[in-house]
Amino acid sequence: MEPDQTRLYRMMLTSRRLEEAISKLWQEGHISGEMHLGIGEEGIVAGVVDHLSDGDAIAADHRSTPPLVMHGVDLTGIVAECLGSTAGLGRGLGGHMHLMSKAHLAASSGIVGSSGPLACGFALAHQHLRPDRVAVAFFGEGAMNQGMLLESLNLAGAWKLPVLFVCKDNGMAITTPSERVTSGNLIDRVRGFGISAVEVDGANVEEVWHAAGESISRARRRGGPAFLLASCVRPEGHFLGDPLLRIVRQPVAELKDRLGPLVRSAASTKGAGVGGRAASLGGIAKMLSKAATMRGQDPVGRLRKRLHIDRADLEALETEVDLRIHSAIETALGSLQEAPR
pLDDT of residue 235: 83
Q: Give the pLDDT confidence score for residue 305 in this predicted structure.
A: 94
**Contact status, residue 124 vs residue 64, Cβ threshold 8 Å:** no
- What is the arithmetic mean of pLDDT over 251-256? 60
Q: What is the pLDDT of residue 339?
A: 46
Q: Percent of the chain beyond pLDDT 70?
A: 83
- Distance, in Å, from the CA atom of 167 to the CA atom of 241, rounded to the nearest integer, reads 24
The pLDDT assigned to 266 comes to 62
Question: How much is the average pLDDT of 267-275?
Answer: 65
- Rounded (10°) CA dihedral 146, 149, 150, 155: 160
- Tell me, what's the pLDDT at 288? 57
Helical pair 147-159 and 115-129, crossing angle rounded to 10 deg: 20
Tens digits of residue pLDDT in 36-64: 999 999 999 999 999 999 999 999 999 99
pTM: 0.88
- Alpha-carbon distance 58 to 205, whole Å? 19
Q: Work out the mean pLDDT of the chain and round it to a whole number.
A: 90
CA distance 4 to 15: 17
How does pLDDT run across 9-32, given as a tens digit for each residue? 999 999 999 999 999 999 999 999
For 190, counting Cβ atoms within 10 Å of its Cβ (0-12 exposed, 13-18 middle, 19+ buried), the class is buried
How many residues in the chain?
Answer: 341
Relative orientation angle of helices 205-220 and 42-49, to the nearest 10 degrees = 30
Among 3.40.50.970, 3.40.50.300, 3.10.180.10, 3.30.300.30, what is the CATH number of 5-235+298-335? 3.40.50.970
With cut-offs at 50, 70 and 90, classify the pLDDT of residue 287: low
Whole-number pLDDT of residue 126: 97
Distances (CA, A) of 17 to 11, 106, 225, 320, 339: 10, 21, 32, 11, 29
Q: Are 257 and 195 in contact (CB under 8 A)?
A: no
Which residue type occupies 217? S
The secondary structure of residue 340, as a DSSP letter, is P
Q: Tell me what pLDDT residue 163 has.
A: 98
Residue 291 has pLDDT above 70, yes or no: no
pLDDT tens-digit profile of 196-227?
Answer: 999 999 999 999 999 999 999 999 999 999 99
What was the pLDDT predicted at 234? 86
Residues 84/23, Cβ–Cβ less than 8 Å? no
Band of pLDDT at residue 317, cut at 50, 70 and 90:
very high
Is the separation of the CB atoms in 101 and 54 below 8 Å? no
Q: Where in the chain is the domain with CATH 3.40.50.970?
A: 5-235+298-335
Instruction: For residue 14, give Cα distances in angstroms to 64, 131, 304.
Output: 14, 31, 13
Are the C-beta atoms of 18 and 65 separated by less than 8 Å? yes
* DSSP code for 24: H
- Interval 69-84: pLDDT, tens: 999 999 999 999 999 9
pLDDT score of 173: 86
Residue 312: pLDDT above 50? yes
Give me the percent of the chain exceeding a pLDDT of 90: 75
HSE at residue 214, side-chain half, CA atoms within 13 A, is 11
